[in-house]
Amino acid sequence: MRYPLLKFLTLVLFIYSCKSDKTDNPIIDNLSREKSINMDSISGKVYTTAHHTSLKLSETGTLKFEDFKQPLETDAAINVDASKEFQTFLGIGGALTDAAAETFFKLTEENQAKFLEAYYNQEKGIGYSLGRTTIHSCDFSTASYNYVEEGDSELKTFNIDHDRTYRLPFTKKAIEAAGGKLTMYASPWSPPAFMKTNNNMLQGGKLKPEFYQTWANYYAKFIKAYEAEGIPIWGLTIQNEPMATQRWESCIYTAEEERDFVKNNLGPTLEKEGLGDKNIIVWDHNRDLLFQRASTILNDPEAAKYVWGTGFHWYEDWKDGIPMFDAVKRVKETYPDKNLIFTEGCNEKYDLKRIENDDPKLAERYGKSMINDFNNGTVAWTDWNILLDQTGGPNHVGNFCFSPVHGNTETGALTFTNSFYYIGHFSKFIRPGAKRIVSVSSVNPLLTTAFKNEDGSIVIIVMNDSDNDMDYSITMQSRTAMLKTKPHAIQTIVLKQ
């Protein structure tokens, strides 16, 4: 009788286990409810910026999801899946350089307030939450300088007095305008001249091996000095553009040299100085060599343990005009436990006529990069100078560039370009802590990405870089909404329960 009884018990256990695997499992139910959206109670607003129109982050309508409509191959269709979540969003912002600070303080007080509100207030502006600053001078300074006297290898003369005139007060105003919190990281363009092989802060050169530790100590002193001024430093990059010999401040590191500096000097020094929580970013240069640099450093466990992630710029398109977005994806695939951050991008060779003629390429470079970089795993995106003057400067070597906002230091007037509004389509609505979700387009002229904020709102961004008006659909959870977009336009769709 043992065996029939055993068979009976086995059958009972089997039936129970099958039942437990069904949807009455509370864990599965909870997960399902968290991912599911009640499409009947959802409301959506559409915000649009379009070239050659007056639309600038303007609310242009609402959308309603109705019965599912099967798109045809000739249709423009976007499919969103909010149940699939990817990287956690850190923030969007720009660099608070000497040039930006000096230009800011030459504006009228009214326009200073307008500028700060426009960039840092989420309700009335575009809600920047991220900032980059420089460790002493870069090309966007009115002169080359550092924080110690020449030859002071013990750093006894270290001080940040130079920054007290413009950059420190400017940065404090930005933090205040952002509600008292701004995720700040710092980047050096060059060590002091005496630490380098060419004895010059400009024109490349390398950090002398005997100054590796001194230079690591310099970072720690900078962080402590800025934090003593009430400016918390979240992280730092090791070197701006470590493969570029520029006519301005620059310094060359091979991948192996950067790896060894991280693991032997900078990482241990920050820990020793009580700064081990600061996030170290490697590379800080273009997408083209992103994988080579990341793999050399991150394949070394002793270096990788100090590294938060890899930073990159967008200037690799000087070769053939084509951004190398795929390199970002490959790094994320290979090192999924490390982060990616876009650390710098601007439109080069300032030409006022391009602003006056509303050249779509200026703003669309931002839109294309942000959409592709986020879709490839990037957690944060940083513009270069947040403000420049009417010449695209000041810049002590004549490297004049565009900024999303230009301030005329002669008239005090502010010019907000379409690049500002394009960035705002992301930064205003995607908030720190958001998760990227799936958003896929069926046609090449419509680029898209999407995020789900911590409050449950869904943000879908759609950019039309074609010369044509377009009708398109958005489908989510087997419900479809119909929309229209103007040529050379970007739209943000915000969905709330």
Pull the structure tokens for residue 129.
Answer: 């939450």
Please state the φ and ψ torsions of residue 302, each to the nearest 5 degrees.
Answer: -70, -30
Q: Where does residue 108 fall: left (phi above 0), alpha (psi -120 to 50 degrees), or beta otherwise?
A: beta
Q: Which residues partner with 202 through β-bridges?
A: 249
> Could you please report the per-residue DSSP string of 143-194?
S---SS-TT-TT-TT---GGGGTTHHHHHHHHHHHTTS--EEEEEES---GG
Cα–Cα dist 263/279, whole Å:
14
For residue 227, indicate whether it is catalytic: no
By the 8 A CB rule, do 249 and 201 touch? yes
Which of these is catalytic: 241, 258, 316, 364?
Answer: 241
Q: Tell me which H or E stretch contains 366.
A: helix 360-375
| Residues shown for the chain | 497
For residue 348, indicate whether it is catalytic: no
Q: Which residues partner with 285 through β-bridges?
A: 312
Cα–Cα dist 240/314, whole Å:
13
Cα–Cα dist 190/241, whole Å:
10
Give the closest residue to 490 by CA, choosing from 374, 470, 111, 243.
470
What is the sign of the dihedral through the CA atoms of 26, 32, 37 and 40? negative
By the 8 A CB rule, do 391 and 403 touch? no
Burial 85-110, CB ≥16 within 10 A → b, else e = eebebbbbbbbbbbbbbbbbeebeee
Which of these is catalytic: 257, 316, 344, 364?
Answer: 344
List the beta strands (DSSP E) in 443-486: 446-452, 458-464, 470-476, 479-485
Give the closest residue to 387 by CA, choosing from 5, 144, 106, 13.
106
Q: Tell me which H or E stretch contains 80.
A: strand 77-88
List the beta strands (DSSP E) in 317-367: 339-344
Q: Give the single-character DSSP code of 164.
A: G
Give the closest residue to 497 by CA, choosing from 472, 476, 482, 483.
476
Tell me, what amino acid is at 198? N
Q: Give me the active site residues, please.
A: 241, 344
